[in-house]
Amino acid sequence: MSSTHLLRHTVATVAYRGGKAVRGAPAEFSAFRAKEGSRSAGEILAHVCDLYDWALSIARGSQTWKNSTPQRWEQDAARFFDALGMFDAALAERELPPETVQRLFQGPVADSLTHVGQIAMLRRLAGAPVAGENYFVAEIAAGRVGAAQAAPRKEFT
């Protein structure tokens, strides 16, 4: 398996886990914060989208960073999947140099996994928890990065 393919599988994992975290959130969840002065759930989701815009720019050969303003939760959730889709399509176009793949993983992709976990934790704190799951048996496939994901195979009750 190539390093680019493994990165694509990781991005599909972000889509699967991130999808669970963003779907079905209450309308007011975007403004929820763990503590005054911390990022809101909407700010975290917008940042994740920015991370994938940045990753796409790197995959295309130039680094561009932009801090975006959070939109409505549904808009940023759609932007999340769109950004994953564009990044995955760029990875599918050509094999990237291993050093670039490693840096993409250690930077924006790993950061996004952290933030997806934060969103899931904020959901629990806000009283709208996401069901836990045995992700080892989840049906995750490179290239499946949209909002439509496989049904969970083994959620915890």
**pLDDT tens-digit profile of 10-37?**
999 999 999 999 999 998 999 999 999 9
Q: How many domains does the chain have?
A: 1
Per-residue burial over 36-65, b = 16 or more CB atoms within 10 Å of its CB, e = otherwise: eeebbbbbbbbbbbbbbbbbbbbbeeeeee
pLDDT digits (tens, 9 = 90+) for 85-140: 999 999 999 999 999 999 999 999 999 999 999 999 999 999 999 999 999 999 99
Whether 153 is in a domain gets the answer: no
Residue type at position 12: A
- pTM, two decimal places: 0.95
Whether 71 is in a domain gets the answer: yes
Whether 155 is in a domain gets the answer: no
Averaged pLDDT of the chain: 96
Q: What sign for the dihedral angle of Cα 48, 112, 146, 27?
A: negative
pLDDT of residue 27: 83
Which CATH number do you get for residue 125?
1.20.120.450
Q: Which helix (H) or strand (E) holds 95?
A: none
